[in-house]
Structure 1
């Protein structure tokens, strides 16, 4: 009789109590079950599965409460039965395999005693189970298997990894340290093995995201083990092929994303989810690569970076940014020049490994490349990788130089030692340069990529421009990018640039001589005074200083027997000139010729003024004949290039950095950074005038410009330059014109409520919002597609059976006009005034306010005799009825006659005016002469009454959706889905009213148009702060401004 049966009958007849389940006896019984069933078949499969599950429960309970149970498990070697069961191939699938794998995972995860964990790992049973080939076509079995591997990896450390990692054994001929592993089957040797790692990385690109996540967790746990043997194993073949597969998998995901983005399918929820899921997977992979780089293992870093640059960075990130015409010119240059650097955009030898090799094209489109760039800058914090990517993407400089110049062409003259930066200046000049091998992989110089990226901001493709803005925003908010590099590429905010400049002035050299030298070295681009006059004044000041000059100090040191003076000091009149070489003195003379000579009153045109540096870093002024200066330059050019480079290197190492050269280099870098900053700011400002930019991107542009151009209250100074103010003013005028055009459309009554509703969200986006998450990126793409489709629909015209609904089309236009006007106005306030008011500039209108004054169907209304215009209407086939045509829902102030001046009115009255929703209605006269029953309503602003061209008695009226319907759609929509929801939920209708004669039909149409014109004038006054040029500087949020609105004529009486 079995144990459960005995317990049952004992309890039934009052026998002994039931056996305690959590006891050593129960564990012994389960062990006997495994012994009696060494072979698992259909008959005993359920018994074995239940025994395995119960053993795991008892061992875990015993680890915490009864150590004797754990000791029994260890001494009886129960783990060997697990291995024995899985040795049968039939047990590596189905319930048996899942139960064994689950039991092992539970044991390893829940055991707390380190000694027990060591035992589980020590006898190689788990290592053998990991090496087995299960039925991985079964997703459940694969899930349990990968979960077991991940659970084991969580227990790995320098000690436990020894149970799973077998080092290489080469017998009599040991392998050289750091060399390749011995091939399997080599005589007298055994290759290294790590099944836990090698089996898991096979699922790096599995279709199940849970499996991929487990693989990432396991590999990161392995990379965190600080054992040189383990690190060598994962960085050497064949295990190193994992990084190649990883980079290829990232590229495949990007290609899938490119296909989804190219589909333009934004209306299907499934398509939106597919784009968001694919982009999230790319970001997750990039975050994983960043985690690998952050482990601090140099071998892994170099290996992963090499694989990423080869399979991902070039084909996916950089190459697609180059347009077809640039690539074609580059190919022609390579063909003509045999692979040389014949193109201005090429990097080095054309970007290919050998001469004449074809230029490779990108594997995705530029839109996909930009979105991947954005997610990379959001996910990656590794400073080395970021530095390389930023230098390659934006490090070309505004004028072709900058952080990552192309290699020096053969035969060109290298920089002379006197021109080479010294000390910290030299380090700053070369810190952001890309290595030659990376320049070759880019195929084009950073100049070409910078021009391409900034050109996308000025291009006509709204989707690409929106994605480019997100790239710049993500790069700006990445804290791992150095401020020096951001300043060099022109993306450091103005406020932080001012702070850096103030700090440099506080810690810099402020001696009089340094100031004079800096004045002499000022670039010609800054439009200084005539060079000869400035140099003449400096020479006169130095002559008046007398013994305080560097020459006098050198003579004093020589006379006193101190340090040897420089050979043949040069007099200011040029009489004592000597041609000393750098080898004859411990220092070197530095000559700085004036850029041009003035005529009269200064230095003669045949004479150049030069500065010579003394041994102590001071300078002396010398007048030098132009012919002699050119002779020196010719001699220097004739020297071998390698000799000049060696001299420059020895000079920079032997001589301490002079303040003059450091400050001159700092001036050059500051000038280049200023030009680069103005270039980026101008490109981003140009986007504000684009008609195709979606609202989400407009907020990102406003936030980016606020970050770049705002100077804050501490640093002071002008907030914007003249061109920047002009560009911002032009953009504001363009959006005012768009808002003015929307006032003439079907939704003029909705503009003021839309402004009030969008004010707070837009303010938050301009001042505090950032590019955001993957969902925000997908919303940007969707809106860009919808805006571009909207412009196409506008070009095609309204109407038509297959075209979009006119009311929905007009609603989207009004929504875009309000978004643009509010965002640009708030950007102006933030930059010029320092803040944006919390209250909107027009009355805040809620859905309840509109509902309060809404005219509804089936409502009894008062109809005076003067308002009644009889007509016939038919709402169903064959059911024509008599009705009255009238205008209702007008504000009381408008009914009185002319539109009043809204300036002195109270905010509550303004709110009532803004919430008014006038309509055209047809009402049943009923029995009472002064009342009527509303049959149907049509909003006045979208009615557009028109007399039929063939039947003069017929009046056509467009029935636009009500104002409340639009506000409800906008309120219930996420800002990214607003355009799509407007297109889905707004549907218009149509009336045809028959009047007794043509005159009455025309009179009814004129009556409706007059009231519509009066209401447009009222709405213009409500939106006066957004429509009047220059009013943004003086608005106070009261809701209205006095005076007539521009662009709307006064209504006739």
Structure 2
């Protein structure tokens, strides 16, 4: 006999429950989508008499006896029956107590007797097979004191239930020794179809009974709300009468009432989730119209929730986003309040943007989705509402939020450069990802087609970010007490132009690059509270206004774009200190200085700015021409069009290199400069003749040629400069002067000499392979319509530039990286040489094919017929030198030492003598010949030291690149062999063998590359190129 207690679980949370074996009896306990019919806990109603209800069970020789303590239960409230599946079910007091128990197989399910005792115990007597008496003595004796009540039947099995006062079966009581735990998984005695109108009606009726919702009955309300959402979603797809009942009974009103009387967060969370599920899944337009009408949704939106609970805020934002997802020209009006056809209230938008700058990224994303759904509806009254005060503050706050993101990124960049850490790359990636998300949001907002929003975004970005922060940062490290670096400014300028597609923003930003630095320094770097801060600073001709009259000002020449000395920025050996902080030069000239004089990151960032300007479709071609970066093909196309429409009477202007296409394009630049002065207080007006596209074009070419001739710049940056140069001059050397050609030729010769030195270096066996691969890549990059990489690479590679690699300077890994850099630069300059001759780039570089292996070579005499000897291969030990080597301490092994070369490949082979063939051996160990750096020990002349490098470059393999970076941070070293020989003569013989085979290997590499090195530059046409190709003023300035 066993006694198992069953305690009330209403006050126990799922997290606090202790697992009990009898919970396995309830197969729906942890159902993933529980409904009211499948509750996770017993529903609890307010009842002061319901306490710690227990059910006792025992088995006697004649019957199974159940006893339940039900205080406060009347005779009309107790119900006992057996269902179709053989479960004994007990319910009392309007769901005050419910229990369900599987009867044993020997129980007679049609012979059940129950009675209520005076001490509030309900006794249920289930007879066992062959032992049941129709009239139990205990019951019969007390029949006069019992009351027959309504009988419930299940599965067609009925029995009478009597309430008998004072009946106490002492024999049965003494047999109670166990207490069983059972889980009531449904709330109703008669099973119902979960997805039925009857069930929906029952749930609605139950909700109406609650006058207050607290911790006692919250579970039932939560389950009811969840089930209603499931039923209505089902009915929307199968039976429209479900939602008709929902409207008829005004269940939305019940939802609002439940929210008002609720004292718990759980009910608020479930109500918001229920509304979100319904709004997202209901496809019927009638259903959406009803939900949005009668101000129920607006009431929920404006309800004062306790958002200290993070879960509640998440569900609230999801609810707002769900509502916004159903907005269209018809439904949006249901959520508005208007007066005289003017929107005066839009709670969805107003409440949503309150969380636009929440610290949680998911919430910010949801709010942005909400606002985009509002903007893309296209309702004119709503458009007027969102761009009217005070709602326009949202856009200024949005730009301020973006400004903070930019400042945080700058701080990360500076920290990475000063003290890099292993997680610097991840932090930078996360920061730039957030910045680009914000910019793409700006772009999505603009794409909604609301003109005033585009104007607001443009004005706020220029006023709060570009003019006061980004541009001055190119020349000053601290702006308005905000530390920001030029690298971040260059990256942000690229991102804004590339992502935010606003014509005015692009053209005004480009126009600011023609202004002198000091105009912005005086306008934005003086603190507002300072006495030096003018109310509205005005600058003329790049100088402060000192009281000069407007008439006199019109006569003053402008030097805002072209410096007075006319100097262009060609990097030369006489260049000393950079003048990036010179406030007299323009931002355009600063970018060119970064290209010709800045470090690798500054040069690459400036190149990306020029490339972004070139790729920005919103930018007027006249602005590109004034900047000096209008591609040659676009120039010819524009002049051809002008010639066809008769705008130019002189037909020779079409192909004249002296012609500037700025004559009618200056109006766009003038308009932008006027807007800068009138709206932002930055005056840098220019004279029309001060802007010479041809002069500016040659300044850009000067800077690019200087970049290509620099030795302290990475190949990646040079490739970017080569792409830009090819875009500007896609045909030939027509716009290069003699100095340009000489600089490029000298740089090419230096790079060729560096590549020849690599033939004698550590990796000659892979040089041709790397050259062929980089040739294809460079050709693809140069001929591509857009740059190979995005500006984000400028930021993400900072940890690479600033990391302290632990690689030894003379290791083969360092030599391998240097080889790749030399090959990349050589390939670029070689392809530019072909480009200068006006020839198309070949698919493959001109190199000789592999030569036949000599019959007298050691590789042939050794009998090797494979490209790479593998362990276990049999070789002839011709010229082999016996040696000893220990790969483990104290365990020396005897080998035969061989050095072999075959074409551009070479190996050091250690073979063991064959027992069957005296003149043959079995290859045991193979190492690359190239880069072994043989050296005889000074103290032990019988020892030969060899450096053993890997057979491949790990960073060239995309699969191994990540592993290589991790190993690189820990420090990579080469292997070392010390081989011992019998005598000094044997050691010198081995040394000579290695040196000889290395020479053969290098000679073969040089032979194959000879056509590439003897490239005929065909300079016979170069003599015709003179300084007449450019104006005399530019020629003199470039010298």
Q: Is 2:87 aligned against 1:87?
A: no
Residues 883 and 924 in structure 1, CA contact (< 8 A), matched pair in contact too: yes
Deviation at 1:922, TM superposition (A): 3.2
- Is the 8 Å Cα contact of residues 416 and 798 (structure 2) preserved in structure 1? no
Q: What is the 5 A alignment of 1:361-380?
A: 363-380=483-500
The match for 1:815 among 802, 820, 829 is 820
Q: Is the 8 A contact 1:923 1:935 kept in 2?
A: yes
Q: Matches of 1:1007 and 1:448 in 2, distance apart?
A: 64
The structure-2 alpha-carbon separation of the partners of 1:1031 and 1:772, relative to structure 1 and needing over 3 Å to count, comes to closer
So what's the TM-score if we normalise by structure 2? 0.65
> 2:247 maps to which residue?
74
SS in 1 for 2:214: coil
**Residue 589 of structure 2: aligned partner:** 451
Tell me what 2:269 maps to: 98
Is this contact kept in 1: 2:837–2:1018, CA < 8 A? no
Partner residue in 1 for 2:886: 874
Deviation at 1:235, TM superposition (A): 3.9
2:742 is the counterpart of 1:754: no
1:123 CA displacement: 1.9
- How far apart are 1:983 and its partner, in Å? 7.2
Structure 2 distance, partners of 1:839, 1:515, is: 40
* Mapping 1:198-209, distance limit 5 Å: 198-209=350-361
CA distance in 1, matches of 2:508, 2:81: 73
Q: 1:861 aligns with which of 875, 896, 899?
A: 875
How is 1:603-642 mapped onto 2 (pairs within 5 angstroms)?
none
Q: Quick one: structure 1 residues 779 and 309, their matched pair in 2 at CA, closer, same or farther if it must change by over 3 Å? A: closer
Within the alignment, does 1:507 sit opposite 2:645 as a pair? Answer: yes
> Structure 1 residues 477, 858: closer, same or farther in 2, change over 3 A?
same
1:848-875 CA-partner distances (Å, limit 9, x unpaired): xx995112345432211xx222333222
Counterpart CA distance in 1 for 2:295 and 2:221 is 22
Q: What is residue 935 of structure 2 aligned with on the other side?
A: 946
**Match of residue 834 from structure 2:** 829
CA distance in 1: counterparts of 2:455 and 2:81, whole angstroms: 66
1:197 is the counterpart of 2:349:
yes
Question: TM-score, with normalisation over the residues of structure 1?
Answer: 0.64
Segments of 5+ residues of structure 1 without an aligned counterpart are 170-176, 179-190, 328-358, 421-442, 524-644, 646-664, 794-800, 892-912, 1035-1053
- Matched with 2:991 is 1005
Distance 1:373 1:160 in 2: 40
Alignment pair present for 1:687 and 2:707: yes
- Matched residues in 1 for 2:261 and 2:935: separation? 86
Q: Give the deviation of 1:683 after TM superposition.
A: 1.5
Matched, 1:763 2:763: no
Contact conserved, 1:694 with 1:784, CA < 8 A, in 2?
A: no
| Matched ranges for 1:9-88 at <5 A | 9=83, 19-87=192-260
Q: How far has the Cα of 1:806 moved from its partner?
A: 0.6
CA distance in 2, matches of 1:1009, 1:298: 75
* Residues 874-925 of structure 1, C-alpha deviations (whole Å, 9 max, x = no match): 221112333332212x12xxxxxxxxxxxxxxxxxxxxx34xx212233334
8 Å Cα contact 1:920/1:939 also seen in 2: yes
Question: Would you tell me which structure has more strand in proportion to its own residues?
Answer: 2
Cα distance, 1:1031–1:921 mapped onto 2, change above 3 Å = farther
- How far is the alpha carbon of 1:227 from its aligned partner? 5.8
| Structure with greater Cα Rg | 2
Give the Cα separation in 2 of the matches to 1:470 and 1:522.
28
Q: How does 1:240-251 map to 2 (within 5 A)?
A: 240-251=392-403
Distance in 2 (alpha carbons) for counterparts of 1:851 and 1:130: 81
How far the C-alpha of 1:477 sits from its partner, in A, is: 1.6
Output the CA distance in 2 between the equivalents of 1:1017 and 1:220.
66
Contact kept? 1:871, 1:996, Cα under 8 Å: yes
Which residue number in structure 1 is paired with residue 69 of structure 2?
none
What displacement does 1:680 show? 1.6
Deviations 1:176-231 (CA, angstroms, capped at 9, x unpaired): x99xxxxxxxxxxxx95433223222322334333222211222233346666645
SS of equivalent residue, structure 2 residue 888: coil
Change over 3 Å in CA distance of 1:473–1:522 after alignment to 2: closer
- The alignment partner of 2:699 has SS state of helix
CA distance in 1, matches of 2:397, 2:960: 39
Q: Secondary structure at the match of 1:933?
A: strand
Alpha carbons 1:947, 1:956 under 8 Å: kept = yes
Aligned counterpart in structure 1 of residue 728 of structure 2, from 708, 721, 729: 708
The Cα offsets for residues 745-796 of structure 1, whole Å up to 9 and x where unpaired, read as: 21121111111223323322221263366xx54545555654676xx98xxx
Q: Distance in 2 between matches of 1:167 and 1:474?
A: 45
Q: Counterparts of 2:461 and 2:939 in 1: how far apart (Å)?
A: 71
**1:921 and 2:909 aligned:** yes
- Does 2:297 match 1:144? no
Partner of 1:483: 621
Contact 2:807 2:971 in 1 (8 A): no
After superposition, where does 1:153-168 map in structure 2 within 5 Å?
A: 153-157=324-328, 159-166=330-337
User: Shift in Å at residue 86 of structure 1?
Assistant: 2.8
* Shift, 1:737, TM fit: 3.0
Q: How many residues get paired? A: 761
Alignment partners' CA distance in 1, 2:584 and 2:306: 50
For 1:14 and 1:942, how far apart are their aligned partners in 2?
91
Native 8 Å contact 1:919 1:937 kept in 2:
yes
Aligned pairs (5 A) from 1:376-395: 376-393=496-513
> Is 1:287–2:440 an aligned residue pair?
yes
SS across alignment from 2:250: coil
Q: Is the 8 A contact 1:150 1:218 kept in 2?
A: yes
CA distance in 2, matches of 1:919, 1:394: 61
SS of 1:918's equivalent in the other structure is strand
- 1:260 is displaced (CA, Å) by 3.1
- The residue matched to 2:893 in structure 1 has which SS? strand
Shift of 1:971: 2.9
CA separation of 1:975/1:698 partners in 2, compared to 1, >3 Å: closer, same or farther? Answer: farther
Q: Is 1:109 matched up with 2:246?
A: no
Correspondent of 2:895 among 879, 883, 888: 883
Q: 1:61 to 1:729 in 2, by over 3 A?
A: same
- State the secondary structure of the residue aligned to 2:268: helix
For the Cα contact (< 8 Å) 2:883–2:897, is it kept in 1?
A: yes
Distance 2:333 2:410 in 1: 44
Contact conserved, 1:941 with 1:1012, CA < 8 A, in 2? Answer: yes
Deviation at 1:943, TM superposition (A): 0.7
* CA distances 1:656-680 after superposition (whole Å, capped 9, x unpaired): xxxxxxxxx99x58x8111112212
1:810 Cα deviation after fit:
0.8
Q: Which residue of 1 aligns with 2:53?
A: none
User: Which residues of structure 2 form unaligned runs of 5+?
Assistant: 1-35, 39-78, 87-153, 158-189, 521-538, 558-580, 661-673, 675-686, 851-863, 1021-1039
Q: Which residue of 1 aligns with 2:719?
A: 699
Q: Distance in 1 between matches of 2:839 and 2:964?
A: 30
Q: Distance in 1 between matches of 2:398 and 2:865?
A: 58
Supply the distance in 2 between the matched residues of 1:380 and 1:875 (Cα, whole angstroms).
Answer: 63
- Deviation of 1:456 after TM superposition, in Å, equals 0.9
The CA distance in 2 between the partners of 1:690 and 1:137, in whole Å, is 59
Instruction: Output the CA distance in 2 between the equivalents of 1:1018 and 1:750.
Output: 12
> Aligned-pair distance for 1:388?
1.0
CA deviation digits over 1:423-469, x for unaligned, max 9? Answer: xxxxxxxxxxxxxxxxxxxx998952112111111124111212222
Q: Shift in Å at residue 833 of structure 1?
A: 3.6
Give 2:150's aligned residue.
none
* CA RMSD across the alignment: 4.4
Report the Cα distance in structure 2 between the residues aligned to 1:919 and 1:39, rounded to whole angstroms.
Answer: 88
Assess if the C-alpha contact under 8 Å between 1:710 and 1:831 holds in 2: no
